[in-house]
Amino acid sequence: MSWKITAHAPREMVQAALVAHEDVWDWDPAIVIAGSEIAEERPLDWKLEAWLPRRPTRQDKAAVAGLFAHGAPALEVEKLPDTDWLVASQNLTQPIRAGRFHIHTPDFPPVDEAGVRDLLIPASQAFGTGQHETTAGCLAMLTLMKREGVVARNIADIGTGTGLLALAAMDMWPRALALASDIDAVCTQVVEHNAQANGFAMGGAPGQLVMTVAEGCDSPLIQSRAPYDLVIANILAGPLIQLAPDFARICAPGGHLLLAGLLETQEKAVRGAAFRAGFRLARRAVNGDWSILWLRRRSAR
């Protein structure tokens, strides 16, 4: 059984609630939340949705309501059909064009255009089909990096989800060593399937992708393959701040760090943590309400 709690509120309130969620250290991981606008023509009217694998208890509803600092809006509770809500929400997602990439699910045909790389990313139990502004922004930033002469021989995608960004980086630098990691073990099968579907080989050799399950950078495999010329992390602002010193330890002097998953309002804190860890800003972009940061680690003197 799946249930959903929905709260309708102005955009600023929902975004503040999402930020507050990151600071709740004892949040029940069974409750998955997201915020989005109600309709494209109503960009200021948002909703916060919380999905649960059980009927919401009084404590569950209090936890969701507690994310709103100045009083929660009315909470709507509904039982959902017996289906995977994430897969269902992605089944009919429209294809996107980001940088040199065209991303689509099996519901839509590929494109055959010069200079465009077509990537098939099915709906799955992992985050990252390219629809979210952060993922699309990373694809565009990777395209810019390549165009501006970045050379990556060793790549790590931390918090890979579907593996999309790792595969895109491999397409940009096909001879590079590539590693993808995620805290969720379900991502291993998802990444392997997506690599095969798009003609990428799994393995530890140049031009191949190796997958590992790890929390942040805490993995012997991640550590042993460092330092990396390019580290990608499209996760959340809180973990990005916490992991900044770890990124510095695995990123080569002069190497590149691509960060996303942070709201523009959170950019100052993330950039501050990265600066203290030894990175400087190379470029930034904003896609919707989300910032995408390209940083470089200072070279050792």
Residue 278 makes CB contacts below 8 A (sequence gap 6+) with 248, 297, 298
Digits of tens for pLDDT over the chain (301 positions)?
Answer: 589 999 999 988 988 888 888 788 888 888 888 888 787 667 788 999 998 888 999 999 999 999 998 889 999 999 987 655 455 544 446 788 888 898 887 777 788 888 889 898 875 443 444 446 788 899 999 999 999 999 999 999 999 988 999 999 999 999 999 999 998 888 898 899 999 999 999 999 999 999 999 999 999 999 999 999 999 999 889 999 999 999 999 999 999 999 999 989 999 999 999 999 999 999 999 988 899 999 999 975 4
- Does 115 appear as a known binding residue? no
**Numbered ranges of CATH 3.30.70 in the chain:** 3-87
Rounded CA-CA distance 156/136 in Å is 18
Distance CA 73, CA 75 (A): 6
Report how far residue 87's alpha carbon sits from residue 82's, in angstroms, rounded to the nearest whole number.
12
CATH 3.40.50.150 domain residues, the chain: 96-297
CATH code of the domain made up of 3-87: 3.30.70
CATH classification (class only), 96-297? alpha beta
- Is the separation of the CB atoms in 104 and 116 below 8 Å? no
Confidence (pTM): 0.70
182 is in an annotated binding site: yes
Q: How far apart are CA 180 and CA 43, in angstroms?
A: 34
Was 234 annotated as part of a binding site?
Answer: yes
Residue 135 known to bind ligand: yes
